[in-house]
């Protein structure tokens, strides 16, 4: 699941930054990008949050250090060290991806193009106001484990009817 999320995150590079944007077809702002990607993978239900609200909503998952940041963890920034105003999604290896380079006046694709405002890959420390990294990757791991548990009975039923057992990373019956 993490590899699929990494692939999705990287495919979004270049998508225009639009203030208040919540989907890739009309543009995304920083929280819209993070929320949309995590909703695709079932980490978040429907909803719209600012970066600060997203941090508060997911605070229960716990924090990690930069060297522990894994695919899907959320990286938060606060210019004053307290009030979170920006979020990116970790890719692992000290990198993150997110919508950046725009602001409240970035309302059209033309505005975004002029500013170079888009989804970009950056080092986690690309800003000096990093305040926390939330361990959302643990939710991804739990979702993946639950999905495999639900698929096991399908495999057993299929094998009882003559299907071969899954081998290694081979696709499982019912996928």
Q: What is the mean pLDDT of residues 73-102?
A: 96
Check whether 21 has a pLDDT greater than 80.
yes
Q: Which two tokens stand for residue 155?
A: 């495999």
Quote the pLDDT of residue 171. 41
Which domains are seen in the chain, by residue range? Answer: 2-136 (3.90.1720.10)
Give the confidence band of 47 by pLDDT, cuts at 50, 70, 90. Answer: confident
Check residue 156 and give its pLDDT. 52
DSSP alpha helix (H) spans, 12-136: 30-40, 51-57, 109-115
Cα dihedral angle (70, 76, 77, 81), rounded to 10 degrees?
Answer: -110
Q: In the prediction, which pLDDT does 150 show?
A: 66
β-strand pairing of 74-77 with 27-28: unpaired
pLDDT higher than 60, residue 59: yes
Does the structure show a pLDDT above 60 at 155? Answer: no
Token reading at 156: 């057993």
Cross-strand partners of 28: 17, 22
Two tokens at 23? 């989907």
Q: Measure the CA–CA gap between 25 and 142, rounded to whole angstroms.
A: 29
Task: Indicate whether 175 pLDDT > 70.
Answer: no
**Quick one: pLDDT band at residue 153, thresholds 50, 70, 90?**
low
* Confidence band for 173, pLDDT divided at 50, 70 and 90: very low
């Amino acid at each position: 699941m993490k590899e699929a999320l990494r692939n999705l995150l990287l495919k979004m590079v270049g998508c225009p930054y639009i203030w208040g944007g919540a989907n890739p077809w009309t543009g995304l702002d920083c929280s819209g990008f993070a929320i949309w990607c995590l909703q695709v993978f079932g980490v978040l239900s429907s909803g719209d949050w600012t970066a600060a609200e997203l941090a508060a909503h997911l605070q229960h998952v716990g924090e990690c250090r930069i060297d522990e940041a894994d695919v899907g963890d959320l990286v938060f920034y606060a210019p004053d060290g307290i009030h979170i105003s920006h979020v990116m999604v970790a890719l692992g290896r000290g990198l993150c991806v997110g919508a950046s380079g725009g602001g409240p006046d970035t309302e059209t694709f033309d505005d975004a193009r002029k500013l170079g405002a888009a989804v970009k890959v950056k080092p986690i420390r690309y800003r000096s106001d990093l305040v926390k990294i939330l361990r959302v990757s643990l939710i991804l791991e739990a979702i993946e484990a639950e999905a495999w548990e639900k698929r096991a009975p399908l495999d057993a039923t299929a094998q009882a009817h003559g299907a071969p057992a899954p081998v290694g990373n081979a696709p499982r019956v019912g996928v």
